[in-house]
Amino acid sequence: MNTLIVIVGTTAIGKTALSIKLAQHFSSEIISCDSRQFFKEMTIGTAVPDQDELAAATHHFIQNRSIFDDYNVGSFEKDALKKLNELFENNSIQIMVGGSGLYVDAVVNGLDFFPDVDPQIRENLTEQLNSEGIEVLQQQLLNLDPETYNTIAKDNPHRVIRALEICIGTGKTYSSFKNKPKTPRNFNVIKVGLNAERSIIYERINKRVDIMVKNGLLEEAKNLYPHKQLNALQTVGYRELFEYFDGNCTLEKAIEEIKKNTRRFAKRQLTWFRKDENIKWFNYDEKIETIINSIKKEL
């Protein structure tokens, strides 16, 4: 039976390094499901694997799209399943890695079906976000769909706008379309999670942000600033620097906000993945042999 080994965990925990070691051991390729790393214009701020890492194992869905493309989790589900079917023809074991829980679930379990709605609704909501701020949209979601309001990442504009456009476009709650029967997958799944004490995770995040700044994050964000309204750029590491470019804070404050918001993002990632009882957790510095032996017992 074909098997997909899924590596999950918080940002900066070491998922990329582990996935490469596993890909080399099993002679597999790697499906990336980090929704921020799809976009070729966003390199530094999304911690895309470096050239040595990309050369160490074949990666898919790394910088394969543009921020100007309309690409979402539904598109990724279709593309990833198609690629997996191709890869399984050569090797019955493949690797998927990423911290985007929704994108992991899309491939492993399938997405809930949501009807198409008028794209003008999303445009209107995005304009409202830019002019009035996310708090207004959050309140609107609370009024229309309290269940979704209480379960999604409310400070993520993508999620709030997505839920609102369904509510407005269908006249039904976003939550009413969830948890319907899904199409079964034709592969087994082994899930491996990397974790560490919170203080270590936060230390690694702070260090990573400092390295990003040193490597040119400010210049990258400056080049993207004219397009700051695009959905792909409504994300940690860029939003905060756009605030700096707008004159709303100092550079030092913007960098501190990137660190703080990345730590919050990591906390949400952990909350998401801890709900999954099928994940076998390992410490971030666990020996690779231990993880490989654990996987082999499940194959």
pLDDT tens digits, 72-112: 898 999 999 999 999 999 999 999 999 999 999 999 999 88
Q: How far apart are CA 51 and CA 29, in angstroms?
A: 16
Per-residue pLDDT at 70: 86
Strands (E), 183-255: 188-195
Q: How far apart are CA 33 and CA 75, in angstroms?
A: 12
Per-residue pLDDT at 112: 81
Residue 179 confidence class, pLDDT cut points 50, 70, 90:
confident
Q: Is 15 known to sit in a ligand binding site?
A: yes
Least reliable range by pLDDT among 77-81, 137-141, 156-160, 261-265: 156-160
Q: Which residues in the chain are classed under CATH 1.10.20.140?
A: 119-177
Angle at 82 between CA 108 and CA 122, to 5 degrees: 75
Average per-residue pLDDT for the chain:
95
Which residue pairs, CB below 8 angstroms and at least 24 apart, start in 162-170? 164/121, 164/125, 164/137, 164/140, 165/117, 165/121, 165/122, 165/125, 166/114, 166/115, 166/117, 167/141, 168/117, 168/121, 168/125, 168/144, 169/115, 169/117, 169/118, 169/121, 170/115, 170/117
pLDDT value at 286 more than 90:
yes
Q: Is 271 known to sit in a ligand binding site?
A: no
Q: Which residues in the chain are classed under CATH 3.40.50.300?
A: 3-111+182-298
Share of the chain above pLDDT 90, in %: 89
Q: Is 9 known to sit in a ligand binding site?
A: yes
Q: Is 16 known to sit in a ligand binding site?
A: yes
Per-residue pLDDT at 156: 86
Note whether 232 and 67 are within 8 A (CB).
yes
Per-residue pLDDT at 192: 98
Number of Cβ within a 10 Å radius of residue 269: 20
Per-residue pLDDT at 115: 85
Over residues 238-244, the mean pLDDT reads 97
Angle at 28 between CA 107 and CA 42, to 5 degrees: 60
Condensed to tens digits (0 to 9), the pLDDT of residues 37-79 reads 999 999 999 999 999 999 999 999 999 999 999 898 989 999 9
Residue 116 confidence class, pLDDT cut points 50, 70, 90:
confident
For residues 37-69, one letter each, b for 16 or more C-beta atoms within 10 angstroms of the residue's C-beta and e for the rest, the string is bbbebbbbbbbbbeeebbebbebbbbbebebee
Note whether 192 and 280 are within 8 A (CB).
yes
pTM of the model: 0.84
Q: Looking at the domain that runs over 3-111+182-298, which CATH code has it been given?
A: 3.40.50.300
Q: Is 148 known to sit in a ligand binding site?
A: no
pLDDT value at 161 more than 80:
yes
Per-residue pLDDT at 111: 85
- As to burial, measured by CB atoms within 10 angstroms (0-12 exposed, 13-18 middle, 19+ buried), residue 208 is middle
Residue 188 confidence class, pLDDT cut points 50, 70, 90:
very high
Over residues 257-266, the mean pLDDT reads 97
Per-residue pLDDT at 131: 93
CATH number for domain 119-177, candidates 3.40.630.30, 3.30.750.24, 1.10.20.140, 2.50.20.10: 1.10.20.140
Q: Is 12 known to sit in a ligand binding site?
A: yes
